[in-house]
């Protein structure tokens, strides 16, 4: 049965540990493979998600997986908040 409230600590530690130990979530500086990287901006500071966020992350996921399957050394890098105007309005 699913819990009413999502508890990220219960799952994400285990999952991120598997990703890190397998090496699928990172790139290697000394790799001889051609590099490919994508900057992943976080959601807006307002916390309001919209269809554009879902589309952006879906397209980035497709690109990252495609280039990994092509043998590239891929980095999907979390970035900084890109919602400067929304941040200023809130603050």
What's the CA gap between 41 and 52, in Å, rounded?
A: 12
Where is pLDDT greater, at 37 or 43?
37
The pLDDT value given to residue 63: 92
Between CA 57 and CA 79 the distance in angstroms is 13
Q: Where are the domains of the chain?
A: 28-90
pLDDT tens, position by position, 14-23: 888 887 787 7
Angle CA 15–16–18, to nearest 5:
65
Token reading at 74: 């891929």
Tokens 């092509």 found at = 70
CA 78 – CA 74 distance, rounded (Å): 13
């Amino acid at each position: 049965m699913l819990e009413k409230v999502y508890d990220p600590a219960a799952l994400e530690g285990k999952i991120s540990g598997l990703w890190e130990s397998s090496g699928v979530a990172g790139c290697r500086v000394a790799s001889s493979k051609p590099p490919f990287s994508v900057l992943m901006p976080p959601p807006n500071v307002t916390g309001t998600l919209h269809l554009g966020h879902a589309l952006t992350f879906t397209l980035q996921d497709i690109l990252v997986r495609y280039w990994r399957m092509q043998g590239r050394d891929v980095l999907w890098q979390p970035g900084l908040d890109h919602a400067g105007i929304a941040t200023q309005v809130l603050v």
